[in-house]
Amino acid sequence: MQTLLTSAQMRKADEFTIEHLPIASIDLMEKAARAFVHCFLRNEFDTNKSIAIFCGKGNNGGDGLAIAHLLLHNGYSNIKVYLVNFSDKQSLDYAINLQRLEESRCKKIVLNTAADLKSIKSDIIIDAILGSGLNKPLEGEYAVLVDHINQSKKRVYAVDVPTGFFAEGKLPKEYNGIKALKTICFQRPKINFFMPESALATAQFEVVAIGLDEAFIQKQTADFYLIEEDDIKQILQPRKLFSHKGTYGHALIIAGNTDTMGAALLSAMACLHTGAGLTTACIPPSGLVALNTRLPEVMSLPRDEYTKIENPEKYQAIAIGPGLGVSNENERLLEHLITTNQPLIIDADGLNILAERQDLLSKLPAHSLLTPHMKEFDRLFGAHESWWERLQTAKEQAVKLKIVIVLKNQYTFVCSSEGKVYINPTGNPAMAQGGMGDVLTGVIAAFLAQKYATIDAAILGCYVHGKTGDQLAKDKYVVTASEVAPGIASTIHELM
Ligand X SMILES: NC(=O)C1=CN([C@@H]2O[C@H](COP(=O)(O)OP(=O)(O)OC[C@H]3O[C@@H](n4cnc5c(N)ncnc54)[C@H](OP(=O)(O)O)[C@@H]3O)[C@@H](O)[C@H]2O)[C@@H](O)CC1
Ligand Y SMILES: Nc1ncnc2c1ncn2[C@@H]1O[C@H](COP(=O)(O)OP(=O)(O)O)[C@@H](O)[C@H]1O
Q: Which residues are annotated as a binding site for K(+)?
A: 60, 127, 163
Angstrom distances, CA of residue 477 to CA of 19, 205, 436, 474: 49, 22, 15, 8
HSE (side-chain half, CA atoms, 13 Å) at 173: 2
The least CB distance from residue 220 to ligand Y, in Å, is: 28
| One residue of 25, 85, 410, 471 binding ligand Y per CB under 6 A | 410
- Give the three-class secondary structure for 206: strand
The answer for residues whose C-beta is within 8 angstroms of residue 190's C-beta and 6 or more apart is: 7, 132, 161, 165, 167, 168, 205
Work out whether 5 is an interface residue with ligand X (CB under 6 A).
no
The least CB distance from residue 412 to ligand Y, in Å, is: 5
Residue 65's binding partner out of ligand X, ligand Y, none, with CB under 5 to 8 Å set by partner kind: none
Residue 461's binding partner out of ligand X, ligand Y, none, with CB under 5 to 8 Å set by partner kind: none
Q: Of residues 324-353, which lie at the interface with ligand X (CB under 6 A)?
A: none
Q: Of residues 186-215, which lie at the interface with ligand X (CB under 6 A)?
A: 186, 210, 212
Q: How many residues bind ligand X (CB under 6 A)?
A: 30
The edge-to-edge listing of strands for the beta sheet with 124-128 is 107-111, 79-84, 51-55, 124-128, 155-159, 180-186, 202-208
Q: Which residue numbers belong to the known binding site for (6S)-NADPHX?
A: 59-63, 131-137, 142, 160, 263, 323, 373, 438
| Strands of 92-148, DSSP E | 107-111, 124-128
Q: Of residues 29-58, which lie at the interface with ligand X (CB under 6 A)?
A: 29, 32, 56, 58
Q: Dihedral angle at the C-alpha atoms of 261, 263, 265, 269, nearest 10 degrees?
A: 180
Work out whether 28 is an interface residue with ligand X (CB under 6 A).
yes
List residues bridging with 108 in a β-sheet.
81
Smallest Cα–Cα separation from 51: which of 73, 23, 79?
A: 79
Q: How many residues bind ligand Y (CB under 6 A)?
A: 19
- The residue type found at 204 is Q
List residues bridging with 52 in a β-sheet.
80, 125
Residue 69's binding partner out of ligand Y, ligand X, none, with CB under 5 to 8 Å set by partner kind: none
- Give the three-class secondary structure for 317: strand
Q: Of residues 154-173, which lie at the interface with ligand X (CB under 6 A)?
A: 159-161
Q: Of residues 65-94, which lie at the interface with ligand X (CB under 6 A)?
A: 89, 91
The 428-457 site mask, x for binding ligand Y (CB under 6 A), equals: xx-xx-xxxxx-x-----------------
| One residue of 72, 133, 307, 399 binding ligand X per CB under 6 A | 133
Contacts for 478-484: CB closer than 8 Å, 24+ residues apart: 478/430, 478/433, 479/430, 479/431, 479/433, 480/433, 480/435, 481/266, 481/433, 481/434, 481/435, 481/436, 481/438, 481/439, 482/266, 482/269, 482/435, 484/270, 484/431, 484/436, 484/439
Residue 160's binding partner out of ligand Y, ligand X, none, with CB under 5 to 8 Å set by partner kind: ligand X
Piece of the chain touching ligand X by CB under 6 A; list 105-113, 130-138, 278-286, 465-473 = 130-138
The least CB distance from residue 271 to ligand Y, in Å, is: 14
Residue 429's binding partner out of ligand X, ligand Y, none, with CB under 5 to 8 Å set by partner kind: ligand Y
| One residue of 373, 379, 384, 420 binding ligand Y per CB under 6 A | 373
Residue 14's binding partner out of ligand X, ligand Y, none, with CB under 5 to 8 Å set by partner kind: ligand X
Smallest Cα–Cα separation from 438: which of 469, 487, 482, 394?
A: 482
- Please state the separation of Cα 305 from the chain's center in Å: 40
- Backbone φ and ψ for 107, nearest 5 degrees, come out as -80, 130
Residue 434's binding partner out of ligand Y, ligand X, none, with CB under 5 to 8 Å set by partner kind: ligand Y
Q: Dihedral angle at the C-alpha atoms of 461, 340, 265, 487, nearest 10 degrees?
A: 20
Closest CB to ligand X among residues 160, 231: 160
The least CB distance from residue 428 to ligand Y, in Å, is: 5
Work out whether 177 is an interface residue with ligand Y (CB under 6 A).
no
Q: Of residues 333-362, which lie at the interface with ligand Y (CB under 6 A)?
A: 348
Calpha distance 485→439 (Å, rounded): 6
Q: Dihedral angle at the C-alpha atoms of 229, 234, 238, 243, nearest 10 degrees?
A: -140
The least CB distance from residue 481 to ligand Y, in Å, is: 7
Residue 182's binding partner out of ligand Y, ligand X, none, with CB under 5 to 8 Å set by partner kind: none
Calpha distance 141→112 (Å, rounded): 9
Q: Which residue numbers belong to the known binding site for AMP?
A: 408-412, 437
Work out whether 403 is an interface residue with ligand Y (CB under 6 A).
no
Provide the binding-site residues for ligand Y, judged by CB under 6 A.
348, 373, 408-410, 412, 427-429, 431-432, 434-438, 440, 465-466
Provide the binding-site residues for ligand X, judged by CB under 6 A.
10, 13-14, 28-29, 32, 56, 58-63, 89, 91, 130-136, 138, 142, 159-161, 186, 210, 212
